Amino acid sequence: MLVPGVTAGRLHLRAFLCCLLAAAARAEEKVGQIRGRVSIPQKFAHDLPPGQGIASMRVILDGGMQSALPTADGYFLIGNVAAGPHLLQVVHPKLLFDPVRVEAQEGTTMKMSAYLADFEHGRGAKLKYPLGLAPSGAYSYLEKREEFNILSVFKSPMALISLFSFGAMLLLPKLQPMIEEEKNRQRLEQEAKREADGNERR
């Protein structure tokens, strides 16, 4: 029969040993760091409102499991990166950055390789490391208004019908005298023919 105090002591000892083993396993697990720099080219910078430059950026790893804020110069560092593939993204309210696939490989030191993220094939073009990231575009929240083109008027059926009707209104008054003249000419020809037939009968 076990004494309750002894049983409780053994349970505490086992829990303590499990904690030590878990801590040792974490200590042996190698982790690395992802380093890089984000920058904003001049063609994007002049369209940004004041205060929405690098200070508005956030670098996130694996959908937000880890994150870092760039320094004023754009440098960032994300630590405690375990071995394996990771998805790195730069979040900004106005600018669009291409996602990056970072592969951490164990060795004597943790080696980092970076590629453009291709969600169909996994890897895209290989990138230099440490990373140098810049926006690939800007978000467009409003649809750009199309410029007026006079030729687009002729592509509309309603516009074509209106133009045809307007042209008919202009041409009909000019055609009316020609029609009357043609009728008079035909009438005179018929009268002349009748007179000629009458003379022949006589």
List domains and CATH numbers for the chain. Answer: 29-138 (2.60.40), 150-189 (no CATH)
Q: Count CA within 13 A, CB hemisphere, residue 4.
A: 0
pTM (predicted TM-score): 0.57
pLDDT in tens, the chain (202 residues): 444 544 555 555 565 555 544 444 444 457 899 999 999 999 898 888 888 889 999 999 999 999 999 999 999 999 999 999 999 999 999 999 999 999 999 888 889 999 999 888 778 899 999 999 999 998 876 666 777 676 776 677 887 788 878 877 887 777 777 777 788 888 888 877 777 776 666 6
pLDDT digit string, tens, across residues 60-79: 999 999 999 999 999 999 99
- What are the CA-CA distances from residue 84 to residues 48, 172, 190 (Å)? 36, 82, 103
Torsion angle defined by CA atoms of residues 124, 127, 129 and 134, in that order, rounded to the nearest 10 degrees: -110
pLDDT digit string, tens, across residues 112-138: 999 999 888 778 899 999 999 999 998
